[in-house]
Amino acid sequence: MTGYAAPVQDMRFALEEVAGLAELAGLPGWDQAEPDLIASVLEEAGKLARDVIAPINRSGDIEGARLENGIVRMPRGFREAYAQFIAGGWNGLPFAEDIGGQNLPWAVSCAVQEIWQAANLSFGQYPLLTQGAIEALSRHGSPEQKKLYLSKMVAGVWNGTMNLTEPQAGTDLGALRTRAVRADGHYRITGQKIFITNGDTDLTENTIHLVLARLPDAPAGVKGISLFVVPKLMVEADGRMGSRNDLRVVSLEHKLGIRASPTCVMSYGDNGGAVGTLVGEEGRGLEYMFTMMNNARLSVGIQGVAMGERAYQQARAYARSRVQSRELGSRDVAPAAIIRHPDVRRMLMTMKAQTEASRALAYYAASALDRAKALPDAAGRARAQATADLLIPVVKAWSTDLGFEIASTGVQIHGGMGFIEETGAAQHLRDARITMIYEGTSGIQANDLLGRKLMRDKGVAAAGAIAQFRTTADRLATGPGDDLATIRRHLIAGIDTLERATAWLIQTWGDDVRRASAGATPYLRMMGIVAGGWVMAISALAATERLKRRNGDAAFLEAKLITARFYAEHILSQANALLTPIMEGGGTVMALDEDQF
């Protein structure tokens, strides 16, 4: 397996030119987020990832997590790597200083998350879920819960989990059966949860579970669900850890990928009920859990970016070293490195362009969350939140779809060797596959984009995004050279296509909701493609300006401009092909009777 090197130069470029790092640093509380500091943060994170976390990726996949006498044991090297991770304060980057955090914008934290996920996706699960649990408790927990749990979780010495799914419920959370009974000022939790990432681990001193459960007198459906904090070890009022709570890991799942991340079947209340405390108000659990889920969905989108980057680095290194066949158009009959062959170049350019586009869009979405939190005016915060709400399902689904596709292309570049586990290309493919499923499948994200985000405001947020895209296209018209003109032409075509599809879906939804919903997934992909073209156009403009001012690495900036044009010609141009399945294909999706399948 090829080693990992964090693409710090491109990360900085995306943060500065697309996410607007300078603007974020000007908002209250983030004045320390200056480019030099952020560059140092990324460089140091890259070193830890390269030297400590990435080297145990392959061995962790081979060994896997294991359950021994009720305790989950991690593969060799993970405890030492995690100890270095928390000693560096990495778990607390986006959180407030009064609970031990570094108080940096989420956009910066997302860039650092990408480094952990690309180095070792199994390892990256620990900060991902813990940070989501911290966000949920920070916003909805009681003062007592915050005092007991947050500082330890921010430090990373305690990890957090999210307990939603049950065997009979799956995505239908209204069918949950886990029960919570009021008892002596707290609640007794009984039931079983499945697919619980990091349900137990020997990396941390304690595990803090956020558990959805139903009270005996609660109404049916999602309105009857409440959220509870259920620690593995009870925590006394003074912060000391007490006795073991009534919960256990029943088994670990045997998975296609991320084998060093324990996915647990959890049992609560085998001996009378696990002790839990209510988060917020009864009956609002799903609302509170969505805070954690939205956080996790953005982070999983970052995982898609990360797996694309890792697979690209692996394939690039192999293409440079693998010698096979003479170069087309050359008089030299000697075999050449396969990176000289046009079709391999096409595949590498596709991997590179899609990864850079998805990275820039994810960072922009994270910066929208930052603006929604910190802009001084309420109207600005509301607009930023609407943008984040619109983009998060796109980032989650489109980026993870791309991550898997890019990893598959990486296997293809390796040829037969890509099918052999020792090269590492197959592990990237296996690991990436889960990102399209957990925290809501790509189809669920598409339904969310269409049914909740687009229909909730009848396309107002989408119209705002499309207007931003057009403003960038107008800026391209004033730039020099054929590259910007070509990018502009394809961007305008993509914007026109997206606008047409959006209007059709809004009109059709009220007449035939099933026909409109049949186009949800191609619509999300179209939105991702066009939004990706938009951030690549911004990148092309910034690269052109920097080249003009001789500000930066000329080779990097020239490559950025060429990659943006490649994206426009090869990827953005695909948006129009999705109009037919969106606007015409819904009838055949639903046409067959069930027994005709």
Which residues of 461-575 form beta strands (DSSP E)?
none
Residue 89: what residue type? G
For 404, counting Cβ atoms within 10 Å of its Cβ (0-12 exposed, 13-18 middle, 19+ buried), the class is buried
Residue 367: what residue type? S
Dist CA 503 CA 241 (whole Å): 57
Dist CA 143 CA 313 (whole Å): 46
Residue 348 DSSP class: H
Dist CA 118 CA 111 (whole Å): 11
Q: Percentage helix, strand, coil, to 5, in the chain?
A: 65, 15, 25
Pairing of strands 225-231, 186-197: unpaired
Distances (CA, A) of 447 to 437, 471, 521: 14, 28, 8
Inter-residue contact 505 to 582 (CB < 8 Å): yes
Q: Where are the alpha helices (DSSP H) in 415-441?
A: 425-433
Which tokens belong to 336?
Answer: 């050449």
Report, as residue numbers or ranges, the catalytic residues: 439
Strand partners, 233: 244
Angle, vertex CA 491, rays to CA 113 and CA 18, nearest 5:
30
Distances (CA, A) of 454 to 226, 387, 393, 505: 28, 11, 11, 9
The 10 Å Cβ neighbour count of residue 58 is 16
Longest dimension (CA), the chain: 86
Q: Token match 């394939």: residue? A: 315
The 10 Å Cβ neighbour count of residue 97 is 11
Backbone φ, ψ for residue 550 (5° rounding): 55, 45
Which tokens belong to 147?
Answer: 């005092």
Dist CA 421 CA 414 (whole Å): 11
Which letter, b or e, does each residue of 346-357 get, where b requires 16 or more Cβ atoms within 10 Å of its Cβ? ebbbbbbbbbbb
